[in-house]
Amino acid sequence: MQVTQTLDEGLKREFKIVVPASDLDARLNERLDGLKDRVNINGFRKGKVPLAHLKKLYGKSVMAEVLDQVVAEANKKIVDDNGFKLAMQPKVKVTAEDEPDEQKAVLGVIEGKHDLALSVALEVLPKVELKDVSELKVERLVTDVADKEVDEALDRFASANRPFSAKDGVAANGDRVTLDFVGKIDGAAFEGGSAEGHQLELGSNSFIPGFEDQLVGLKAGDDKVVSVAFPAEYPAPELAGKAATFDVKVHAVEAAGEAKIDDELAKSLGLDDLEKLKDAIREQIGADYARASRQKLKRQLLDGLDAQYAFDLPPTLVEQEFDNVWRQVIADLAREGKTLADEDTNEDDAKAEYRKIAERRVRLGLVLAEIGESNDIKVADDEVTKALVDRARQYPGQEQQVWDFYRNNPEALAELRAPIFEEKVVDKILEKATVTERKVDREELFAEPEDDDAKPKAKKAAAKKPKAAKKTDDKAEEAGDAKAATAEPEAGA
């Protein structure tokens, strides 16, 4: 096998590999020799089939297997000899002298007419020289859970769980009605616009504007045609702004009882008493605050890392990341029935902005991966299993299908592993960075960053976690998962 480098440009590498036809024939004969003891062919005793006859019967299919093996060996030799870490799977093309058509070239090699010549194009990961993370300075926002917030949450919870009893009279705001309805546009029922036995609290504003108001004054057994219009900004474009009617049948009207806040409310939830319920609510609010604080802390950390590093990025990884972001942007706009013009931008400007986001994500993905690899950070199988169980629980009734999907798709499983790895790397950096704390109120904790305020809605949606960079060399599987680590927090790019 003769290997010659033909291109060394930035992160792109190309090699030409030549394997003589005689070498291929020798590999073919070796495989066929091992095959003759395993096949039964009429007219021959097992193990006594002439090599020429085997070659006639199986030569082309076995040679195809030989070529696959040679290509794999060639790729491994290039990576091993040069110490490459690949940004993408090598692109391999079979070539032949005086035969530009690749399919004909492959056929000629299989038939033994000429040597095997391969053109192998690679993109390698850049060398990331790690900076001193102790120079990073970040601020952790701390928000105490006030008693008032617990009481307000308790009031909302009690109101949502107050009892209802049958009412002998017409429905009023605050009452709960049980109804069937069929929604129609231009006289035809539309998908998702019908339900039976639906319970609706009047005045909750959980339906489109005007619907609940027209149910006030109805009683059990009444029928009514409700006429409304979907809001122009309704999420489903096929319904947005359209007039609709709903054929409504009221089955029951119930009046709301007193929203009691006492030990019985806590016991109905499996807790000992009201104080335990308050503790649980306080803990939940505290967990929400901790998540928001972590998100902002991580955003600061990534901003700091982004400012520390500048290096060439593998073009294919950037293009893949950009494609992911752009597809999401266009899908979000389509779902909302909007265009880029509605977001005060155009396609060229928007693509330029999102490409910067893609570049940042790939760069940070590579930095985080390198930090994780240098600190020997790994994700245990039981951690991935826990993440998989959590994901399956999000789809009640389909848990087994979700479980099987991830278990049978290594790339999908890697996407569960990646955020776990990322959080571990972030924790490792925070151990060495300078972290100060500052107490803030709830409003400041949940306030959007100033630079995000100017982002159109579609851009904010596109600023969620990407798949980011993946390392494809076989030398370090865990490090490979590192390269798959997402590079952005939910707060955006």
Residue ranges of domains in the chain: 2-123, 163-257, 275-483
- Poorest-confidence range of 9-18, 182-191, 289-298, 383-392? 9-18
CATH number of the structural domain 275-483: 1.10.3120.10
Q: How confident is the model at residue 390, as a pLDDT?
A: 93
Q: For residue 189, is pLDDT > 70?
A: yes
Cα(453)–Cα(446) distance, rounded to whole angstroms?
13
Using a pLDDT cut of 90, give the percent of the chain over it: 53
140-153 pLDDT tens trace: 999 999 999 999 99
Q: For residue 480, is pLDDT > 50?
A: no
Cα(55)–Cα(80) distance, rounded to whole angstroms?
33
Mean pLDDT of 29-38: 78
Q: How confident is the model at residue 451, as a pLDDT?
A: 53
pLDDT band of residue 450 (cuts 50, 70, 90) is low
Residue type, 42: N
Residue pair 212/200 in contact by the 8 Å Cβ criterion: yes
For tokens 């190309």, the residue is 14
194-224 pLDDT tens trace: 999 999 999 988 899 999 999 999 999 999 9
Residues in CB range of 359: below 8 A, 6 or more apart: 313, 318, 321
CATH number of the structural domain 163-257: 3.10.50.40
395-442 pLDDT tens trace: 888 899 999 999 999 889 999 999 999 999 999 999 999 999 999 999
Cα(60)–Cα(58) distance, rounded to whole angstroms?
6
Q: How confident is the model at residue 449, as a pLDDT?
A: 72
Q: How confident is the model at residue 100, as a pLDDT?
A: 66
pLDDT band of residue 102 (cuts 50, 70, 90) is confident
pLDDT band of residue 476 (cuts 50, 70, 90) is very low
**Average pLDDT over the chain, rounded to an integer:** 85
Q: How confident is the model at residue 18, as a pLDDT?
A: 87
Burial of 115 (0-12, 13-18, 19+ CB in 10 A): middle
- DSSP state letters, 444-485: HHHPPPHHHHTS-HHHHHHTS---------SS-HHHHHHHT-
Which runs of E-coded beta strand occur in 257-376?
A: none
Q: For residue 485, is pLDDT > 60?
A: no
Q: How confident is the model at residue 236, as a pLDDT?
A: 80
Q: How far is CA 472 from the centre of its chain?
A: 19
Q: How confident is the model at residue 117, as a pLDDT?
A: 83
Q: For residue 463, is pLDDT > 50?
A: no
H or E element, residue 131? none
pLDDT band of residue 478 (cuts 50, 70, 90) is very low
Q: How confident is the model at residue 335, as a pLDDT?
A: 78
Burial of 259 (0-12, 13-18, 19+ CB in 10 A): middle
Topology agreement, domain 2-123 and domain 163-257: no
58-68 pLDDT tens trace: 778 888 888 88
Q: For residue 456, is pLDDT > 50?
A: no
Residue pair 364/479 in contact by the 8 Å Cβ criterion: no
Fold of 2-123: Alpha-Beta Plaits (3.30.70)
Cα(304)–Cα(396) distance, rounded to whole angstroms?
40
Read off the tokens for 386.
Answer: 């826990």
Q: How confident is the model at residue 97, as a pLDDT?
A: 59
Count of CB atoms situated within 10 Å of the CB of 291:
11
Q: How confident is the model at residue 214, as a pLDDT?
A: 96
Residue pair 258/165 in contact by the 8 Å Cβ criterion: no
Mean pLDDT of 16-27: 85
123-146 pLDDT tens trace: 999 999 999 999 899 999 999 999
Q: For residue 44, is pLDDT > 90?
A: no
226-271 pLDDT tens trace: 999 998 878 787 888 899 999 999 999 999 888 889 898 889 888 9
Mean pLDDT of 51-75: 83
- Poorest-confidence range of 5-9, 159-163, 373-377? 159-163
Q: For residue 304, is pLDDT > 90?
A: yes
pLDDT band of residue 49 (cuts 50, 70, 90) is confident
Query: For residue 209, which phi and psi values (nearest 5 degrees)?
Result: -55, 135
Q: For residue 84, is pLDDT > 60?
A: yes
Phi-psi map region of 209: left, alpha, beta (phi>0 left; psi -120 to 50 alpha) = beta
Cα(92)–Cα(68) distance, rounded to whole angstroms?
11
317 vs 238 pLDDT, higher one: 317
What does the CA dihedral 215, 219, 224, 228 come to, rounded to 10 degrees?
0
Using a pLDDT cut of 70, give the percent of the chain over it: 89
101 vs 354 pLDDT, higher one: 354
H or E element, residue 223? strand 223-229
How many Cα atoms sit within 13 Å of 266 on the Cβ side?
Answer: 15
Q: For residue 77, is pLDDT > 60?
A: yes
Residues in CB range of 190: below 8 A, 6 or more apart: 183, 184, 238, 239, 244
